[in-house]
Amino acid sequence: MSSKLQALNDWVDQVANHTRASRVHWCDGSGDENRKLIEAMLESGDLEQLNPETHPDCYLHRSDPADVARVEHLTYVCTEREDDAGPNNNWMAPAEAHALMNGLFAGCMEDRTLYVVPYCMGPIESPFSRCGVEITDSPYVVANMRLMTRMGSDALARIERDGRFVKGLHSTGDLDPDRRYIVHFPEELSIQSFGSGYGGNALLGKKCHALRIASYQARTEGWLAEHMLIVGIQNPAGEIRYVAGAFPSACGKTNLAMLIPPEAYREGGWKVWTVGDDICWLHPGEDGRLWAINPEAGFFGVAPGTSAKTNPNALAMLDRETIFTNVAVTEDNRPWWEGLGEGKPAKDWRGRAFDPKHGPAAHPNSRFTVSIKRCPSYSDQADNPDGVPIDAIVFGGRRASLAPLVLEAHDWTHGVLVGAGMASETTAAATGQVGIVRRDPMAMKPFCGYHFADYWAHWLDVGGKLTRPPKIFQVNWFRRDAGGKFIWPGFGDNMRVLEWIMARCRDEADATDTAVGKLPDAGAINLEGLEERPDMEELLRIDPAEWRAEIEAIGKHLESFGSRVPSQLHETLGRIREAIG
């Protein structure tokens, strides 16, 4: 098999010769192909079958213990000019990177099959979708890409029609951490990854293409590629409005994407629909609004902490047709992880008999890969070629005292500033130190494929083209009282905040204007049905002294990106500083 597109054939031939691949297989994405790949991996030991009675068509992959997460310090953006990559990225000159990677890839697929994986990020027929081809020597990558993207013959047909694609080249190499690199060439629309089999480093359609390369594509083409969930909120009248949201890790992003409303809301007719949990491509529409697609077709989610209590929708989809990576297993060979709330581990993520002295049973970054269509709250709008219109953009964070439960930005420019200053405080579990503030603008710190200051300027440019821009909000589910206890109940009750956000988007709710944004009026957040009424006054309190310190910290943060930072952000920050007094 080959392609009608000669440029693709030539590239595959060149790579096959350079890597000395023993075989070349063009992936069609069919069920029969997938079954044969699974059977081969079961035979080789790359996969283990889980309990077929409780988890049919579910498999466990154990990765090398030194290859269990993204390697940001070995991830590079290779632009001709170093300043174009920005201080937010590691930079390597393209010529140097090509020489390095050519040396690593030379002969690396000897005695291996080279898989050609054509894929489409987004619905096949959507004008907003973008395609790629990943060449890999990992059947595990192929099986995951089948779940995470629209992969196979239909994607190849679109690539042949478009005549363009992002080139992704991957090899597990010898899994040597000292010979591991993930390099991006935005100006060439290409990615090369060597020495890792971990999903974030090896599934090149995900963070590598859908964020780092796509953010660069989006800037040149006039749209936004964002690390955001997309969720539909249906009110009792049957009207659905869509929200996009960016949250740093450990801030409740996946839970919000699959939120189940409180019982009183469900009885009243409220529903929540999942369009996407991780990545969102936003395009200005002819109607002056932003329209969004989820470029992915599946979830590559963190297993630990997922339970019937924290995320019942996520747990419900993981009992069939799922690939688990680095979880533990029970005596009867069911997947297990910390926080699951049932069963107990017999073997840990390395395959050893579980012993607490060796650490957690499941690796803290253990994963599941599953089709989005398995999610109980799945929205068929995820396959709508036109995407969905976005009414609100929500930026989240984890702050013990500073940020109120919710605030609305004064305007688009202020909203961009809110996103640029996004921060979370570390927890003891994460670092051993509490309250260290880490900035993660738009939750894109590891994923923006070019200079952050230019990225913020692009946000302002896109907003300037919209006649009906989404309102921008900031939320903080993690405010604590004097005793260190969380004040807001969180989880499904976050629906109460979303209800106010939706009302603001319809201009149906009043708000109090403050220097840092618009806050809900007293009584505006519906607390009906809560067993314990939270201290709303404390949740919405703005402390001028804390905010003066925050404004100065954001100012220094912006200055760290140099003269490219848009003057509008400095000016907006100055107005807030003056208003706080």
250 is annotated as contributing to ligand binding: yes
439 is annotated as contributing to ligand binding: no
Class of domain 6-46+71-221: alpha beta
Domains of the chain, residue spans: 6-46+71-221, 226-297+380-580
207 is annotated as contributing to ligand binding: yes
Query: What DSSP assignment string belongs to 519-580?
Result: EEPTT-S--TT-SS---HHHHT---HHHHHHHHHHHHHHHHTTGGGS-HHHHHHHHHHHHHH
Q: Is 251 a catalytic residue?
A: yes
In this predicted model, what pLDDT tens digit does every residue of 362-421 receive, in sequence order? 999 999 999 999 999 999 999 999 999 999 999 999 999 999 999 999 999 999 999 999
Query: What DSSP assignment string belongs to 319-385?
Result: TSS-EEES-EE-TTS-EE-TT--SS--SB-TTSSBP-GGG--SS-TT-EEEEEGGGSTTB-GGGG-T
The amino acid occupying position 361 is: A
492 is annotated as contributing to ligand binding: yes
Using DSSP's 3-state secondary structure scheme, residue 254 falls into: helix
Query: What DSSP assignment string belongs to 35-69?
Result: HHHHHHHHHHTS-EE--TTTSTT-EEE---TT--S
What architecture is the 226-297+380-580 domain classified under in CATH? Alpha-Beta Complex (3.90)
Q: Does the pLDDT at position 1 exceed 80?
A: no
Q: Tell me if 392 sits within 8 A of 473, measured CB to CB.
A: yes
Q: In angstroms, rounded to a whole number, what is the distance separating the alpha carbons of residues 258 and 313?
A: 6
Q: In angstroms, rounded to a whole number, what is the distance separating the alpha carbons of residues 209 and 223?
A: 15
157 is annotated as contributing to ligand binding: no
Q: Model pTM greater than 0.95?
A: yes
Residue with tokens 């909203």: 415
491 is annotated as contributing to ligand binding: yes
365 is annotated as contributing to ligand binding: yes
User: Choosing from 58, 78, 131, 251, which is the catalytic residue?
Assistant: 251
253 is annotated as contributing to ligand binding: yes
367 is annotated as contributing to ligand binding: yes
Q: In angstroms, rounded to a whole number, what is the distance separating the alpha carbons of residues 60 and 41?
A: 11
- What pLDDT does 3 receive? 86
- What pLDDT does 431 receive? 38
Helix (H) / strand (E) containing 505? helix 495-505
In this predicted model, what pLDDT tens digit does every residue of 289-342 receive, in sequence order? 999 999 999 999 999 999 999 999 999 999 999 999 999 999 999 999 999 999
Please check whether the two domains, 6-46+71-221 and 226-297+380-580, share a CATH topology.
no
- For residue 113, the tally of other CB atoms under 10 A from its CB is 17
The amino acid occupying position 22 is: S
β-bridge mates for residue 169, sequence order: 135, 192
Q: Which of 254, 105, 138 is nearest to 204 (CA)?
A: 138
- For residue 43, the tally of other CB atoms under 10 A from its CB is 9
Q: How confident is the model at residue 251 (pLDDT cuts 50, 70, 90)?
A: confident
Q: Pairing state of beta strands 59-61 and 48-49? A: antiparallel
In this predicted model, what pLDDT tens digit does every residue of 70-117 receive, in sequence order? 899 999 999 999 999 999 999 999 999 999 999 999 999 999 999 999
Provide mean pLDDT across the span 553-574: 98
Q: How confident is the model at residue 433 (pLDDT cuts 50, 70, 90)?
A: low
278 is annotated as contributing to ligand binding: yes
